[in-house]
Amino acid sequence: MSSTKSILLVGVGGQGTILASRVLTKGLVAAGYDVKMSEIHGMSQRGGSVSTQIRFGEKVYSPIIGRGTADAIVAFEQMEGLRYIDFLKVDGMMVINDYRQPSLPVMIGDAEYPDGIIDELSSKVKTVVFDAADVANSIGNLKVQNIVLLGALIKVIGLENLEWEAIISLEVPPKFKDMNIEAYHKGLELAS
């Protein structure tokens, strides 16, 4: 039985998916795990899909997560959660940002954003759902929603005993450090 864990972070360009992945990866490396990470950007500068696959354990041979094998998925946006649900293993956990980012076809009226995504996801897999944008705004900056979601993921995968505050402090601009650490703790609370 493999001790390797597989985490998928999915969102759209501009949501901070890559920064959250980088913090997670650096924290895992600092804790002594072998870590492999890969990123996929689909027109991310224009709101396209962005996904990061992170695998960690004693020894990891590939960064690629197959369908039905992810231990956890963090969906920074509802539709992205639906798009990637097939990657989650049967007993996996999904952290979902109750947030909608309309795609270009939706914005120009060629498609409709589907209703009921949260209900559909929650009926299929174990979920933690909250509005990270609302939490981030209550802290004072929408941009920290990625760290709120990261905090929830860390709680879900049981790694809250690592030195996350130090890693976050190294990865964000000093003037935003306290705000990001507060966001991390809010995420931990929301997943408890």
CATH classification of the domain holding 51: 3.40.920.10
How many angstroms separate the CA atoms of 85 and 112, rounded? 20
Check residues 175 and 50 and name the one with the higher pLDDT: 175
**Residue 3: pLDDT above 90?**
no
What's the predicted TM-score (pTM) here?
0.92
CA–CA distances in Å: residue 178 to residues 154, 168, 174: 18, 10, 8
Q: How confident is the model at residue 1 (pLDDT cuts 50, 70, 90)?
A: very low
Q: How confident is the model at residue 188 (pLDDT cuts 50, 70, 90)?
A: very high
Digit-coded pLDDT (tens) for 70-101:
999 999 999 999 999 999 999 999 999 998 88
Average pLDDT over residues 10-28: 91
Q: Are 70 and 88 in contact (CB under 8 A)?
A: yes
Domain extent at residue 68: 5-191
For residue 54, list its beta bridge partners: 7, 37
Helix (H/G/I), strand (E/B), else coil: 49: strand
Question: What is the number of domains present in the chain?
Answer: 1
Average pLDDT over residues 133-150: 96
Bridge pairing between strands 126-130 and 88-97 = parallel
Bridge pairing between strands 5-12 and 49-57 = antiparallel
Question: What's the whole-number average pLDDT of the chain?
Answer: 92
Helix (H/G/I), strand (E/B), else coil: 73: strand
